[in-house]
Amino acid sequence: MLYAQENVPVPSDPYDMPDFERDDQKQAINEILNASTRDSAERSLRRKIKNIRTLTDALIKRHKLIEGHFFCGDGVHLQYLDSQIAELVMMRFLELGRLALPVHDSFIVRVGQEAELKNAMDEAFTSLFPNVESRTKPKTTVMEEEAKNRMNDGKDEFKFNDFDLEDLTKYSYYYDL
């Protein structure tokens, strides 16, 4: 969202630095955006990420175009913008007589409503950032992952006799902003 707010090109993958774990990059960016100083951001991550100073330097270099938002507490504003998008999506689905359940930066909808969700998310994003194209993408579901794993193991992807039925309740279609 910061790239959209600044109207500058968005990297295809903001967490693609090969020398660092993807989860560490995500956690560090989150802290960098929420902390008021570099020292407080690094202090909070020292126990979790061994090379936090090197990672912070790399993230600043990687995200030079939005560096002005680092270490100033802008994360709260981003959460507010995210909540505005979520509200617009949920209200659009209510207008359609349907339900979209928010989960972090994603939504769960009934199977068959994926296109409507994508449209609602794209419209909501564009309403806040009219000069930037939305990059909404589907997330892989639990069932899709299980089918892929079964195929890789040489099993029939659609026979779930040995699949825990409780996992079926996790099956949902998500989209991620």
Confidence bin at 173 (pLDDT 50/70/90): very low
Average pLDDT, the chain: 87
C-alpha to C-alpha distances, 122 to 1, 15, 98, 159, 171, nearest whole angstrom: 13, 22, 17, 35, 23
Are residues 125 and 52 part of one domain? no
Question: Residue 19 gets which letter from DSSP?
Answer: T
Q: What is the pLDDT of residues 117-169, one digit of tens each?
A: 999 999 999 999 998 889 888 877 777 777 788 788 887 655 555 555 455 44
Are residues 146 and 108 part of one domain? yes
Mean pLDDT over 81-87 rounds to 96
Is 171's pLDDT higher than 50?
A: no
Are residues 92 and 26 part of one domain? no
Are residues 84 and 62 part of one domain? no
Are residues 170 and 101 part of one domain? yes
**Structural domain boundaries, residue 24:** 2-69
